[in-house]
């Protein structure tokens, strides 16, 4: 069978070794005679898994004990309201930078819990860039950013220059490189890009933010519940956490986040160079804000899109069609994407231009 090169935007490619280990865990976890799917979340085997997952995130990102690391469910979409519900009082203001569809949803959901000021937006230019040089209102509780914009192919390559604590939706570039954790009050990320399969959401938050608004919350929506329960207040998504732990081990084996970052830089450089060089194609995002995760590009002649998709398909290239908001193509090249697959795409672009 032809090898499939999976450029899907998410759920997305995971390391091949992780897939094999995950399948083995479904059949027989640690030679226990039991499947990862049928063991108690309070068993020794699973306790070891979730503790290792947390320890690896702390080690990779150098997260101090003043932060909690939680494994929740409900996706980033649930964090859109859980963050302000938990840390923004009714009479406080939070600043939001609007850099795409997901930012917009975060803004919409936050409005029920305080004053939300959209301090910057690239919406008028179809989100082709990351706004910079704006100011954040004095006293703003936090500035919310979406560090990578999956649909529009943009990414923050430097954090906003502000003393306001940051809250970041890192769903689509979580664990793609090192960060300075001290700048953040909260980081949240759905797993289904660089971390694991869909079904678990990581939340990293400063512990001193707990219980500060006086709001009465359902237990499951209160971060305090999950900090006290060490993410085991209720039955957590056991298998997604298991696979995430396996991927975290793989990231460490790659040499950690500096090494992963260098690999991502190399892969995205190769692909953007081809986009800029090839006479048929052009990128959609401003060059300085181009994402290393999601590479969005168009044909100058859109009538040839179907032909290029057909060529891609014949090469085993999958998931390359762009989101309808941008059109054209999107190559998602997360951590686990091998450079060989990026090269297959580049070769297809060259063949399409009659150059190979």
Provide the annotated active-site residues: 102, 169, 193
Binding flags for a second copy, 259-298, as an x/- string (CB under 8 A): ----------------------------------------
DSSP assignment letter at 331? E
Token duo for residue 182: 């001290």
35 binds a second copy (CB under 8 A): yes
Give the residue with the Cβ less far from a second copy, 11 or 327. 11
To the nearest whole angstrom, how small is the minimum distance from the Cβ of residue 29 to a second copy?
A: 11
Q: Is 155 exposed, middle or buried (0-12, 13-18, 19+ CB in 10 A)?
A: buried
Q: How far, in Å, CA of 224 to CA of 226, rounded?
A: 5
Instruction: Give the SS3 label for residue 266.
Output: helix
To the nearest whole angstrom, how small is the minimum distance from the Cβ of residue 78 to a second copy?
A: 5
Out of 234, 265, 314, 356, the only residue in the binding site for a second copy (CB under 8 A) is 234
Are residues 94 and 84 in contact, defined by beta-carbon separation less than 8 angstroms? yes
CA angle (81, 206, 72) in 5-degree steps = 50
CA dihedral over 42, 46, 52, 57, signed as positive or negative? negative
Residue 228 Cα to chain centre, angstroms: 26
For the segment 77-106, give every residue that binds a second copy (CB under 8 A): 77-78, 80-81, 85, 105
Instruction: Give the SS3 label for residue 154.
Output: strand
2 binds a second copy (CB under 8 A): yes
324 binds a second copy (CB under 8 A): no
Q: At what angle do helices 257-277 and 339-352 cross, to 10 degrees?
A: 0
| Interface region with a second copy, contact rule CB under 8 A, candidates 27-35, 133-141, 153-161, 306-314 | 27-35
To the nearest whole angstrom, how small is the minimum distance from the Cβ of residue 195 to a second copy?
A: 11
Q: How far, in Å, CA of 352 to CA of 318, rounded?
A: 16
Neighbouring CB atoms inside 10 A of 227's CB total 17
Give the residue with the Cβ less far from a second copy, 113 or 352. 113
DSSP assignment letter at 272? H
Are residues 151 and 326 in contact, defined by beta-carbon separation less than 8 angstroms? yes
To the nearest whole angstrom, how small is the minimum distance from the Cβ of residue 83 to a second copy?
A: 11
Q: How far, in Å, CA of 167 to CA of 170, rounded?
A: 9
| Interface region with a second copy, contact rule CB under 8 A, candidates 177-185, 197-205, 256-264, 339-347 | 197-205
| Interface region with a second copy, contact rule CB under 8 A, candidates 87-95, 129-137, 190-198, 275-283 | 190-198
Token duo for residue 269: 């450089």
To the nearest whole angstrom, how small is the minimum distance from the Cβ of residue 153 to a second copy?
A: 17
Give the residue with the Cβ less far from a second copy, 211 or 356. 211
- Peptide bond preceding 51: is omega within 30 degrees of 0, i.e. cis? no
69 binds a second copy (CB under 8 A): no
| Interface region with a second copy, contact rule CB under 8 A, candidates 13-21, 87-95, 149-157, 173-181 | 13-21
Give the residue with the Cβ less far from a second copy, 8 or 343. 8
Out of 32, 90, 135, 211, the only residue in the binding site for a second copy (CB under 8 A) is 32
Neighbouring CB atoms inside 10 A of 324's CB total 7
To the nearest whole angstrom, how small is the minimum distance from the Cβ of residue 229 to a second copy?
A: 11
Instruction: Give the SS3 label for residue 68.
Output: strand
Give the residue with the Cβ less far from a second copy, 37 or 307. 37
Residues forming contacts to a second copy in the complex (CB under 8 A) are 1-4, 6, 8-14, 19-20, 22-24, 26-27, 31-41, 43, 73-78, 80-81, 85, 105, 108-109, 112, 190, 192, 196-200, 216, 218-221, 233-240, 243, 316, 318-319
């Amino acid at each position: 069978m032809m090898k499939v090169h999976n450029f899907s935007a998410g759920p997305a490619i995971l390391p091949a070794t992780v897939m094999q280990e995950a399948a083995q865990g479904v059949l027989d976890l640690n030679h226990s005679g039991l499947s990862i799917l049928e063991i108690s979340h309070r068993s020794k085997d699973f306790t070891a898994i979730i503790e290792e997952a947390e320890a690896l995130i702390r080690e990779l990102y150098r997260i101090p004990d003043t932060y909690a690391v939680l494994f929740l469910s409900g996706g980033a979409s649930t964090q859109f309201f859980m963050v302000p519900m938990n840390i923004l009082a009714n009479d406080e203001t939070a600043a939001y930078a609007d850099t795409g569809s997901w930012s917009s949803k975060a803004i919409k959901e936050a409005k029920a819990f305080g004053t939300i000021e959209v301090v910057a937006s690239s919406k008028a230019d179809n989100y082709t860039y990351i706004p910079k040089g704006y100011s954040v209102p004095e006293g703003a509780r936090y500035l919310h950013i979406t560090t990578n914009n999956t649909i529009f192919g943009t990414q923050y390559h430097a954090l906003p220059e502000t003393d306001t604590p940051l809250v970041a939706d890192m769903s689509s570039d979580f664990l793609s490189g090192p960060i300075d954790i001290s700048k953040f009050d909260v980081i949240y990320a759905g797993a289904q890009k660089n971390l694991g399969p869909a079904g678990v959401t990581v939340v990293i938050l400063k512990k001193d933010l707990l219980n500060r608004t006086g709001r009465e919350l359902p237990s499951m929506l209160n971060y305090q519940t999950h900090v006290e329960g060490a993410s085991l207040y209720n039955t957590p998504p056991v298998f997604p956490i298991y696979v995430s732990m396996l991927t975290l081990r793989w990231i460490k084996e790659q040499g950690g986040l500096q090494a992963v970052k260098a690999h991502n830089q190399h892969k995205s450089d190769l692909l953007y160079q081809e986009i800029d060089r090839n006479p048929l194609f052009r990128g959609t995002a401003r060059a300085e804000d181009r994402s290393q995760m999601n590479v969005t590009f168009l044909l100058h002649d859109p009538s040839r899109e179907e032909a290029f998709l057909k060529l891609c398909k014949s090469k085993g290239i999958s998931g390359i069609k762009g989101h309808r908001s941008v059109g054209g193509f999107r190559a998602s090249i997360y951590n686990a994407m091998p450079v060989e697959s990026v090269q297959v795409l580049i070769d297809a672009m060259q063949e399409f231009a009659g150059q190979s």
